[in-house]
Structure 1
Amino acid sequence: MAIKQSSLVIGRQPLIEALQTGKPIDKILLHKNASGDVIQQIRLLAREKQVPIQQVPQEKLNGLTRANHQGVVAFTALVQYMDLQQVIDHVVSNGELALFLMLDGVTDVRNIGAIARSALCCGAQAIIIPDKGVGALNEEAMKSSAGALEHIHICRVNSLLKAVDTLHLNGIQVFTSEMRADKNVFELDMTSPCCVIMGDEGRGVQAHLAKAADAFFRIPMKGNFDSLNVSVAAGIVLYEAMKQRL
């Protein structure tokens, strides 16, 4: 898919201004040999705004734009990323029970879009994603979500494990999907504040992340074919949570 120039921030000073004014940035591509005070300022601002930086060769940047990029090209985000604690505070202040999703290694943007659609329909307030190792929330993701990504809080964090700690500190239980779990999804008590971790279809939830969860569950299936698409699985879990809360 060709990248529209309007979706790029090109050059050092334009990127600094974009970061300082709070323009949502999805990712920064930095020439691997770039250095100097301005580059250091970009790094500091990116860390503050939790924007991931990827170091790339000159050819990668030249392939994105013919403009004078000065070793810096950034992708603008189509969604406004939110701070997890602020979202939790907002949900609590509204008198709502937290229902969050955490995505670990889900790279297919169409799946992410479909998950957002189900999440919004079932009353979930937020989706938590890592700043690396997840599909970009681009035009295709937006289209797959039927606009849901614009109406649900998206929290991008630099550590899913730290995000689990934040959830626990706020009294939010964390459940993890696991095919070999003893408990079925409908046996979970989802009437309390909770967050569900959904992992990549092939790898599943990372072991260190699963270890931090409060409970494991599986989605029972009939027959020997035991592989559900992650967006379908997320929809089943979210519907169960909504059913219990109605």
Structure 2
Amino acid sequence: MNFRNQPQKARPKKNTLIVGRSKVIEAIQQGKQLERIYLVSTIHGEVIDEIKRLATDKQIPINKVPVEKLNGFNVSNHEGCIAVISKVQYQDLQEVISYIVDKGEVPLFLMLDGITDVRNIGALARTALCCGVHAIIIPEKGVGALNEDAIATSAGALEKVAICRVNSLMKAVDELHMNGIKVFASEMTAEENLFDVQLQEPAAIVMGSEDKGIYPALMKVCDEQFKIPMKGNFESLNVSVAAGMILYEAMKQRMEAK
């Protein structure tokens, strides 16, 4: 992936920030959805430990950063702690699965591993919503922020499709398996073609980053690997384009099965 000429990340608006240790603790305890918490890496103490504990319980990512990062938010009295209010509403994976099954529908999930470009995430969400994906599963860390840029690129799809943020994609696969959901991995070196994969059954599709692909340990716990057949020897497709092909094939198979 070419990182040159990438647009600079926009600074979060002040009305999306929660500033100060006690206010962050209060926000978590009140159940406010937080995108992430920034802590100055050099601060310690009981209050900081409490913030870390609460964040872990609620699966809120913590970024340890130099004080200059927080000063850059242009707010006063941050006490080494700032939280960013989430633009999307995260949902519990098991609750989403149960809701889908109770409705009598066949689950279809999209799992994102290491995809950091918010424009790709927005495009993925847009296609996922159009193809009937019930939820997008993302990890706490190693994924682009679901911020205003991502939502704008998704044309609002990120606010309409369920988003399940988990502390471990490996554990999420275990949870999917326990619910009878098969996990498929898109891998350009796989032997099986996309069109031969049975996607009418309960399924989750894992998409990895364009530069590193799917994390090897995660690949090992997937049930089946497939490739998108291509003419020529070009290395790979853009991840959002590839996901579009896969999800439309899943939708096609499911429509034909009815």
Residues 126-165 of structure 1 deviation map (CA, whole Å, 9 limit, x = unaligned): 0000111100001110011111111111011111111101
Query: Residues of 2 paired with 1:17 and 1:233: CA distance?
Result: 42
State the shift of 1:2 in Å.
3.2
Q: Does 1:2 align with 2:39?
A: no
1:22 match: 31
Q: Does 1:176 align with 2:177?
A: no
1:242 match: 251
Structure 1 residue ranges without an equivalent (≥5): none
TM-score of the pair, normalised by structure 1: 0.97
Query: Residues of 2 paired with 1:226 and 1:39: CA distance?
Result: 46
2:6 match: none
Q: Does 1:223 align with 2:232?
A: yes
What is the SS of the residue equivalent to 2:236? coil
Q: Does 1:47 align with 2:56?
A: yes
What is the SS of the residue equivalent to 2:251? helix
State the shift of 1:33 in Å.
2.4
What is the SS of the residue equivalent to 2:132? coil
Aligned-residue sequence identity (percent) comes to 58
Match of 2:94 among 85, 93, 115: 85
2:3 match: none
1:110 match: 119
2:7 match: none
2:42 match: 33
1:123 match: 132
State the shift of 1:67 in Å.
1.0
Aligned pairs (5 A) from 1:94-243: 94-243=103-252
State the shift of 1:30 in Å.
0.7
Q: After the TM superposition, which of the residue ranges 158-167 and 222-231 deviates more from structure 2?
A: 222-231
What is the SS of the residue equivalent to 1:82? coil
What is the SS of the residue equivalent to 2:225? strand
Query: Residues of 2 paired with 1:57 and 1:240: CA distance?
Result: 46
State the shift of 1:35 in Å.
2.2
Query: Residues of 2 paired with 1:201 and 1:39: CA distance?
Result: 36
State the shift of 1:36 in Å.
2.4
Structure 2 residue identity aligned to 1:41: E
Residues 95-151 of structure 1 deviation map (CA, whole Å, 9 limit, x = unaligned): 110000000000110110111111110100000001111000011100111111111
State the shift of 1:3 in Å.
2.5
State the shift of 1:64 in Å.
1.3
CA contact (8 A) 2:39 2:64 kept: yes
What is the SS of the residue equivalent to 1:191? coil
Structure 1 residue identity aligned to 2:120: N
Structure 1 residue identity aligned to 2:17: L
What is the SS of the residue equivalent to 2:110? strand
Q: Does 1:69 align with 2:78?
A: yes
Structure 1 residue identity aligned to 2:40: H
Structure 1 residue identity aligned to 2:82: V
Q: RMSD in angstroms over aligned alpha carbons? A: 1.0
Matched length:
246
Query: Residues of 2 paired with 1:56 and 1:143: CA distance?
Result: 27
